[in-house]
Amino acid sequence: MELRLLRWQSSARAETCREYIASLLASWCADWFIQTQEDMRVERLLDGDEVPNGQEVQWWLVKAGTNRLHLAVSASEMQLMGRRMLAMEASRSQANGLFATTSQKAVIDLLRRLCGMETEAAMEAEELSGAPEEAVLAARHGALGFEFGSPFTGARLYVNAGWCDRVAPVKQNTRSGLTGRTSAISGAKVRVEAKVALGELSLHDTLDWQVGEVLVMDAPGVTVASLSCGDRLLGAGRLLTERGVFMVKMDKIEMAGNSGSGKSANG
Amino acid sequence: MLPRDMGLIGHVEVALVAEIGHAEMTVDELFKLRKDDVVRLKQCVDEPVTLLLDGKAVAKGALVAIEDHLGIKITEIL
């Protein structure tokens, strides 16, 4: 049996992103290539954590707001792209610098367009000295990778989760309506843990602990307990007791969309 | 290797947290949770709480009130 990495994004969302990139590529090609038949297309969605390596590969990073775009293209492909843009013959080797500069400007312009930025001032672009950490390109962190190109050249583009959210926003369930598939799990039980932060103490102090010793909390007054589910903080409130049982009266809800007054939540 | 001398790191401060207890809620109840709602835990006040040092359980204790401060009387070192 073969195990394959999950893509961590729905096919519909990936397709929306692919279409968006494809439409921008078409207008970008029309603006930068003298011969308009040199259309570049999105060839495929990269599988799993497929990342090119090798010394030949140049990496570009663009940051704009929460958008992070990484582009990988080989130096020879950059030159070839510039040559095609200017529609010059391959034998004009003395113009290699011009080709590289042209394709570099074009690539930055493509990334700017993909970020939805009108001007370069609103974004940071840099050529990286090597491949980025794999984590920022990994599908499990919400990144999507696309290979695009034409018969003569190609490049790989990695878009982060922030970019995907802008181009293909995830539909949020409204608070009052657990709809569709979500309603099927509405009755499932989850464990919510209550914790009280007692303060900080030195490691040295902990060595002296003995049974019977009393640790006194730093702050007097109301005891605040936090509620969490797994590693996610849900909120915080006052720790109370009633008929010998602990309770937490919620003062703050961390989950988006929940506010206002309510009633008893659990028994 | 460094010698196991606590003098080297004894001054390092770590967060101490008391795990008071837990509740079970349905997903629906969780999403409907609002300010001023009361979540009733399964633990009674006389049950031991777990002391966590940077997330690791290190001792058990009983909650006690000392004037207007909360305290924990250690009942077991883990």
- A190, B24: Cβ pair inside 8 Å? yes
Give the per-residue pLDDT at B22.
Answer: 92
Give the per-residue pLDDT at A192.
Answer: 92
Give the H or E element holding residue A192: strand A189-202
- Look at residue A267 and tell me whether its pLDDT is greater than 50: no
Give the per-residue pLDDT at B3.
Answer: 63
**Smallest CA–CA distance from A247 into chain B, residue:** B40
Q: Which of B73, B33, B71 is nearest to A218 (CA)?
A: B71
- Look at residue A205 and tell me whether its pLDDT is greater than 90: no
Give the per-residue pLDDT at A143.
Answer: 83
Q: Between residues 224 and 243 of chain A, which touch chain B (CB distance below 8 Å)?
A: 225, 227, 229, 234-235, 237, 239-242
- B16, A203: Cβ pair inside 8 Å? no
Q: How far apart are CA A253 and CA A238, in angstroms?
A: 12
A119-148 pLDDT per residue, tens: 666 778 888 888 888 777 877 777 888 888
Q: Is the dihedral of CA A64, A112, A20, A138 positive or negative?
A: negative
- The tokens describing A165, both together, are 């959210």
Tell me the shortest Cα–Cα distance from A193 to chain B, in angstroms: 4
Identity of the residue in B20, B34, B58 whose CB atom sits nearest the CB atom of A261: B34
Helix (H, G, I), strand (E, B) or coil at A29: helix
Confidence of residue A101 (pLDDT cuts 50, 70, 90): confident
Identity of the residue in B23, B32, B74 whose CB atom sits nearest the CB atom of A213: B74
Q: Between residues 165 and 224 of chain A, which touch chain B (CB distance below 8 Å)?
A: 175, 178, 185-204, 206-207, 209-217, 219-221, 223
